[in-house]
Structure 1
Amino acid sequence: MAASLGLGSAQFGGDYGISNTRGRVSEDEVRQILQLAADCKVLTVDSSHYDGDVERILGRNWPFPSPFKPQVRTLRLEKGLDWLESRLRRSVEHMGLVRVHAALIDNPEDLMGPQGDELWARLEKLKADGLISKIGISASYDDQPLLLARRFKPDVMQVPASILDQRLVRDGTLAALAKLGVEVQIRSVFLQGLLFLPREKLPANLIPVGPHLSRVRRIMAESGADPLHAALSFALNLDGVSTVVVGVTSAAELRAIIAASESKAPRINWDAMALNDEVALTPGMWFQDLGEKTQRRLVRVA
């Protein structure tokens, strides 16, 4: 069974995404996006307090009655468990809610620290109290999400996966998480917009992967698919995945995503599209000064 779509909200609070030319989404547009999502049964809404004032923006613009399954995230544990719990409660209040569908631990390293077990126990208490329905972890590839899931047995795991970043598909992590009974969500299915960025607009650190991106687009075109359709088809049909979280900057974009998600998947050699480049698969490194490392990659690709 194909996964369902979920809605990310980072674009509601800032200029998120390398190919985002529209900037921060206006509240009027947020209201239209949420109404369209409700009408089309895109019910999971992923919120983050790192992205501007997203929680309050959502709280001001939900359609009522709201059909959504909102998710909130934890802040760092550095100020203590009591503060973290208080901040989670404020997140729920800022969204105008009395409870949320899930709370995701946004910093897996906190779970591996000395207070990791206490942190998990605190979230289990909030679940028992009815503030949240599910406990989850938002992890990256380097966080070893399968090991985290085996240790803490979360209800939800959110991880990155895409046509370009197939690491957790190829190593069996996504399928193994599903076998553990974990609800698997994937994000970054467009790799923060890299899939749509013209080769001539790539930042310096990504120039080495330009030829690969051109090859990916050529394969898509030969299969009769555009990048949006291909990326969604890949993500929505991954074994074990329940929800594919996407971000948009307009109702029109969401409408296009919904339409593409309902189209028949193209026949494509998905394996040929995967990137194997540490910098390209790590958005935090895209604009860093990588010095000699970048030069070595440029020489190797040339």
Structure 2
Amino acid sequence: MKNKLILGTVQLGLDYGINNKSGKPSLQKAFDILHLAYDKEIRILDTAEAYGDSQEVIGKFQKENPNKVFKIITKLAANHSLQKGDLSKQIQRDCKILGVNQLYGYMFHNFESFKNNAYFYNELLLARESGIIKKAGISLYSNEEIKDVLDNYPDFDFIQIPFNALDNASKRKTLLIRAKNMNMEVHTRSVFLQGLFFKNGNNLPEVLNPLKTYIEEFESIKLKSGINTETLALQYVLEKEYIDFVLVGVENTEQLMNNLIICDQKVNIPHDSIDAIDVKEINLLNPSNWN
């Protein structure tokens, strides 16, 4: 299932994640991650203008390794200062930084900034027609946002949404199947909920204490199934037939290798049990609400 993996690169440009112990890697370690990803047949990278110097790191890698060309998805910064008519020039700037002639995908970084600049929708579609991007997408959080896009902006090629053992099929499945029926690709992120699953419900920031019950429920399923945290969390998402790609971020090559090994394992994921986890405090499933 590793052909469904997209390598997220926010960790290459920023200290990121509630469970991140090593911080932002050096340029050489970032290159080691990218080399391993390419050698193991991962071909798509996810980055953003807002991810520190992630785009610059990728651009340097592409320039120094012309035989290892990734497909790259990047995102318009939510706090951009672009005016109407400027989007194409911004995409061209990103291409130059990333060392590519065409972006595999270009996304709006969040729903709010998109709605505040909805005229960029047609500009993005024109960029696709011109060939400077292959696919147009948008990053979303809530089901209300997904519904709005499906109802009113059907020409997006893909949506990127959170999906994991807590933000699960009971919350998302119906809408994602609808997106698939509209020929939209479904890309998912937050498979480990920024590392929250590895805390086992312990040492949580006070704001996340309401999630402890659900994390313990996940832990119980893990113990009954005899499957470790990484495998249970990742394969749960990878095995959903209505999900096209799963974005994973890593801090080092060891984590990436572990994810690749998990993709090749044959285990029986207890989907029904995980699907039954029903988080009521859905606002806490969005890491931007953790501060």
Q: When the two structures are superposed, what TM-score results if normalisation uses the length of structure 1?
A: 0.87
Match of 2:98 among 95, 99, 107: 95
2:274 matched residue in structure 1: 270
User: Match of 1:137, SS?
Assistant: strand
Aligned equivalents of 1:168, 1:103: Cα separation in 2: 29
1:276 Cα shift? 2.6
2:223 matched residue in structure 1: 221
User: Match of 2:245, SS?
Assistant: strand
| Contact kept in structure 2, 1:163 and 1:234, CA below 8 Å | yes
Structure-to-structure mapping, 1:279-294, within 5 angstroms? 279-287=283-291
| Contact kept in structure 2, 1:137 and 1:156, CA below 8 Å | yes
| Contact kept in structure 1, 2:185 and 2:243, CA below 8 Å | yes
Gaps in structure 1 of 5+ consecutive residues: 288-302
1:189 Cα shift? 0.8
Match of 1:191 among 190, 193, 198: 193
| Counterpart code for 1:86 | K
1:128 matched residue in structure 2: 129
1:231-268 Cα offsets, whole Å, 9 max, x none, are 11111011311100000001110000011111123342
User: Match of 1:112, SS?
Assistant: helix
Match of 1:64 among 54, 57, 66: 66
Q: Give the stretch that moved more between structures: 135-144 or 173-182.
A: 135-144
Task: Flag as ranges the 4+ runs of structure 1 deviating above 6 A.
Answer: none
1:126 Cα shift? 1.4
1:198 Cα shift? 4.1
1:180 matched residue in structure 2: 182
1:154-177 Cα offsets, whole Å, 9 max, x none, are 111111110111167545111111
User: Match of 2:244, SS?
Assistant: strand
1:271 Cα shift? 2.3
1:294 matched residue in structure 2: none
| Contact kept in structure 2, 1:3 and 1:244, CA below 8 Å | no
1:133-180 Cα offsets, whole Å, 9 max, x none, are 111111111552133034222111111110111167545111111111
| Contact kept in structure 2, 1:175 and 1:239, CA below 8 Å | no
| Contact kept in structure 2, 1:3 and 1:236, CA below 8 Å | no
User: Match of 2:21, SS?
Assistant: coil
User: Match of 1:19, SS?
Assistant: coil
1:274–1:191 CA distance, 2 compared to 1 (3 A): farther
| Counterpart code for 1:59 | G
User: Match of 2:137, SS?
Assistant: strand
| % identity of equivalent residues | 26
Q: Give the stretch that moved more between structures: 18-27 or 164-173.
A: 164-173
Aligned equivalents of 2:96, 2:3: Cα separation in 1: 30
1:201 Cα shift? 1.9
Aligned equivalents of 1:258, 1:171: Cα separation in 2: 25
User: Match of 2:233, SS?
Assistant: helix
Two-structure CA RMSD over aligned residues (Å)? 2.1
Mapped pair 1:86 → 2:76: no
| Contact kept in structure 1, 2:163 and 2:189, CA below 8 Å | yes
